[in-house]
A and B are shown apart, each in its own frame.
Chain A
Amino acid sequence: MRKLYTFHGGVHPATCKTQSTGKPIAKAKLPSKLIIPLHQHVGHSARPVVEVGERVQKGQLIGRADGHVSSAVHASTSGTVTAIDMQPVAHPSGLPELCITLIPDGLEEWLELEPIDDWQSVPHTELRHRLRNAGVVGLGGAVFPSDMKLYAHKHKIKTLVINGAECEPYITCDDLLMRERAAEILAGAELMRTLLYADEVLIGIEDNKPEAIHAMRSAVIAGKHANMEIVAVPTIYPGGGAKQLIRVLTGIEVAAGVRSTDLGVQCFNVGTAYSAWRAIRFGEPLISRIVTVTGNVASPQNLETLIGTPIIELVAQAGALQGTNGYIMGGPMMGVLLPSDQAGVIKATNCIIAASDQLFPPPKTVLPCIRCTRCADVCPAQLQPQDLYWHARAKNFTKAEEYHLFDCIECGACSYVCPSNIPLVQYYRFAKSEIWAQQASQKAANAARERHEFRESRLEREKREKAEKLAAKEKAATKSEAAPVSDKPDTGPVDETQRKIQAAIDHARAQAATIKPKNTEQLTPQQLAEIADIEARRARIREIAQASTDTHTRE
């Protein structure tokens, strides 16, 4: 029996999981349209590579990964692209983002896929490249491009942790995936282990999912996976947080500002392992995911949903009920209330909860903080939430940062236990985004300063170089005219320059006088008048331009 560790704090909210685990995973019906955002992952948006009106096949690339940290986006089914425009997306702000709207033709015509039968003989760079082009991102919620995490780091990765804990109430998509597709998850874990050169694989599953644990254990035996262990971890929220699960399984404390890879541990969600395996073995891009549809619906269940399926259409399949007053993406602890039910399912959508007053009563009256520190008792990051709240509320962001605001994982355990019903996490999210905005503007200011200083020094250098060039020319000229100049040696260099300029001007004038334009003879008075007019206008423009540059140089 493996020795398990514990993390600080944690809470035991009602799990509400049994509602949606009764039915096997069903395929969601083809929706009337798919709204596929181009920015579903951490990093740069994908760049659209299709045009409006174009017919696409299922699995066809529609958004190319753009930049270092980015991921590809694919057509979830075959059909016609009807729009590439700004649409509301599954984001707490409700603001629009660039989306590709696809009208399915119902044929589900797959693109010709490139499966790999023997992936072990394929170079690792090629495998990572395929994962990137298949749009595989972390499906646990962080949606970080997986290929970027699958590097053999400068520190040796000893342990690969596969996260099947699924600690949030209501969500059961990982549970059902493990029950039904355990072998493929394990194959994905093997693939990840190879790419990371990791020794052992630990798969942590909370002990409230006995079926999943049994299915996974049987799959380990059936697949003859060596050095891979299914570990039942105690059910405590937020035991599925990456840092918390790593702590429970290995005893390693991932400190502030340290990456788990520095300590030899890398962590992936079970869904990511599954999708990575499908992408490599069968060449299938990430175009669907398991979504738990639960809450105020007639038959809560898990649906294998195409990315881009409008949330309203997805909920309708589970039987929408009266009294729904909003949709939560994610769980009730960490999820966000979606401002639009028209938005499409994205890669981060693990669960949709139809909220009603019965399930989630309106928030109770907020009372003043009495500094009971129950929040500090349950904080899994060992922070002092009451102090963070104090400073965030006072908009004293420097102080909030000093109290390690950025170690907060926004798990909501503090708000859950708060006897004064204070929405603590909202304060932390507010403070974090304010600090990010400040950092961004500081970065912009630094860049502007650097550019300005560079420009100043460049102008200075150009001026100097011009002067030097002139001086060198001057010197050469004086040398060649040494004899005539010698009889008047007290001529200053300034006079000398002016004399030369005058000479050049005279020369130019003389030359201009000898050359006559060929088309100016025998002009009619009307033409002469026109010419005079043009000249006058030119002079005026020159004057204006001169005046504006003068004003600017004065500024």
Chain B
Amino acid sequence: MFSALLAMAAIAITLGAVLGFAAIRFRVEGNPLVDKIDAVLPQTQCGQCGYPGCKPYATAIAEGAADINQCPPGGEEGIRKLADLLGMEFKPFGSSTVTKPKAVARIDESTCIGCTLCIQACPVDAIVGAAKQMHTVIAAECTGCELCLPPCPVDCISMVSIEESTGNWKWKYPVYALTPSQTAAP
């Protein structure tokens, strides 16, 4: 009986040591779930979720502090992906949420006074310009977050929705009649 106890204790100590070593050796910095959630979010950094950016929102979701239906730019597709990732039920947007088509900011360059307030507001550095010089938006980098709109003292920034072109055109889902017509196979 004594030898059995000893054996069990030895096993426990060895396993404990292995686990302890593993905990130090394979330690993961930060919460990997946050990064996974962050990867699903659209990275507009718009703050419409009530958090100052996508990463803080991802952190809040991971901690259970925020719901998964607070990201309008991600759309319902985004909610679905979050629900899949977190093993939750799909949750539609609240009635107050408005989802808009994707758009980019455009500065009316003749009205711009060069105050640099929009440059400071842009979360992805997509506006170039300097004090008392005309500013312009790098359309390819603009996430359409609209954060540059309120600081502009002369209201020279407008959102331009992205038009369909041959570059972003998509083949449509095939649609056809289900009822047999006179041309049905004999």
**Residues on A close to B: CB < 8 A?**
39, 89, 91-93, 95, 97, 361-366, 421, 423, 426-427, 429-430, 432-434, 436-437, 440-441, 444-449, 451-452, 454-455, 541, 544-545, 548-549, 551-552, 555
Q: How far is the CA of A430 from the CA of B43 in the complex (A)?
A: 26
| 26 A-B contacts (beta carbon < 8 Å) | A39-B166, A95-B166, A97-B166, A366-B178, A421-B185, A427-B174, A430-B171, A433-B169, A436-B170, A441-B42, A444-B43, A444-B143, A445-B42, A448-B42, A448-B124, A448-B143, A449-B54, A451-B124, A452-B124, A455-B125, A545-B153, A548-B150, A548-B153, A549-B120, A551-B150, A552-B151
What residue in chain B is nearest A37 (Cβ atoms)?
B166
The listed residue (B123, B125, B165, B185) touching A364 by CB distance below 8 A is B185
Which of these binds chain A: B3-11, B25-33, B44-52, B88-96?
Answer: B44-52
Q: How far is the CA of A514 from the CA of B20 in the complex (A)?
A: 74
B126 at the interface (CB under 8 A from A): yes
Closest Cβ of chain A to B102, distance in Å, is 9
Contacts A365-B177, A433-B171: A555 and B47 contacting too (C-beta < 8 A)? yes
Residues in A with CB closer than 8 Å to B120 are 549, 552
Closest Cβ of chain A to B80, distance in Å, is 11
B181 at the interface (CB under 8 A from A): yes
Residues in A with CB closer than 8 Å to B41 are 445
Contact B183 A445 (CB under 8 A): no
Residues in B with CB closer than 8 Å to A544 are 153
Closest Cβ of chain A to B25, distance in Å, is 28
What residue in chain B is nearest A420 (Cβ atoms)?
B185
Residues in B with CB closer than 8 Å to A433 are 169-171
Contact A549 B117 (CB under 8 A): yes
Contacts A91-B166, A434-B170: A363 and B121 contacting too (C-beta < 8 A)? no
Residues in B with CB closer than 8 Å to A434 are 170
Residues in A with CB closer than 8 Å to B172 are 430
Contact B153 A555 (CB under 8 A): no
Contact B171 A426 (CB under 8 A): yes
B42, B47, B179, most chain A CB atoms within 10 A: B42
Contact B176 A363 (CB under 8 A): yes
B115 at the interface (CB under 8 A from A): yes
Contacts A446-B43, A455-B123: A437 and B176 contacting too (C-beta < 8 A)? no
Q: How far is the CA of A254 from the CA of B170 in the complex (A)?
A: 28
A-B contacts besides A451-B124, A454-B125, 18 pairs, CB < 8 Å: A91-B169, A97-B166, A362-B183, A365-B185, A426-B174, A430-B173, A433-B169, A433-B170, A437-B168, A444-B43, A447-B141, A448-B42, A448-B45, A448-B124, A549-B117, A549-B151, A552-B121, A552-B147
Closest Cβ of chain B to A431, distance in Å, is 9
Q: How far is the CA of A242 from the CA of B58 in the complex (A)?
A: 46
Residues in A with CB closer than 8 Å to B184 are 364-365
Q: How far is the CA of A361 from the CA of B166 in the complex (A)?
A: 29
Closest Cβ of chain B to A552, distance in Å, is 5
**Residues on B close to A: CB < 8 A?**
38, 41-45, 47, 52-54, 115, 117, 120-121, 123-126, 141, 143, 147, 150-151, 153, 164-166, 168-174, 176-181, 183-185
Contact B43 A452 (CB under 8 A): yes
Residues in B with CB closer than 8 Å to A91 are 166, 169
Q: How far is the CA of A552 from the CA of B117 in the complex (A)?
A: 10
Contact A541 B153 (CB under 8 A): yes
Closest Cβ of chain B to A545, distance in Å, is 6
Contact B169 A452 (CB under 8 A): no
List of 8 A-B pairs having minimum Cβ-Cβ separation, nearest first:
A448-B43, A433-B170, A445-B43, A429-B171, A93-B169, A451-B124, A426-B174, A449-B43
Residues in A with CB closer than 8 Å to B42 are 441, 445, 448
What residue in chain B is nearest A442 (Cβ atoms)?
B39
Contact B180 A452 (CB under 8 A): no
Q: How far is the CA of A362 from the CA of B181 in the complex (A)?
A: 11
Q: How far is the CA of A433 from the CA of B165 in the complex (A)?
A: 13
Closest Cβ of chain B to A549, distance in Å, is 7
What residue in chain A is nearest B44 (Cβ atoms)?
A448
Contacts A445-B43, A549-B151: A452 and B185 contacting too (C-beta < 8 A)? no
The listed residue (B53, B117, B165, B173) touching A95 by CB distance below 8 A is B165
Contact A364 B183 (CB under 8 A): yes
Contact A95 B164 (CB under 8 A): yes
Residues in B with CB closer than 8 Å to A551 are 150
Closest Cβ of chain A to B95, distance in Å, is 23
Residues in A with CB closer than 8 Å to B115 are 545
Contact A548 B43 (CB under 8 A): no
Q: How far is the CA of A436 from the CA of B170 in the complex (A)?
A: 9
A95, A421, A544, most chain B CB atoms within 10 A: A95
Q: How far is the CA of A362 from the CA of B182 in the complex (A)?
A: 11
Contact B43 A432 (CB under 8 A): no
What residue in chain B is nearest A93 (Cβ atoms)?
B169
Contact A449 B176 (CB under 8 A): no
Closest Cβ of chain A to B135, distance in Å, is 15
Closest Cβ of chain A to B48, distance in Å, is 10
B117, B124, B141, most chain A CB atoms within 10 A: B124
Q: How far is the CA of A423 from the CA of B175 in the complex (A)?
A: 10
Residues in B with CB closer than 8 Å to A89 are 166
Closest Cβ of chain B to A70, distance in Å, is 14
Residues in B with CB closer than 8 Å to A427 are 174
Q: How far is the CA of A436 from the CA of B168 in the complex (A)?
A: 9
Contact A555 B43 (CB under 8 A): no
Contact B165 A552 (CB under 8 A): no
Q: How far is the CA of A552 from the CA of B52 in the complex (A)?
A: 10
Residues in A with CB closer than 8 Å to B153 are 541, 544-545, 548
Contacts A448-B143, A451-B125: A432 and B171 contacting too (C-beta < 8 A)? yes
Residues in B with CB closer than 8 Å to A432 are 171
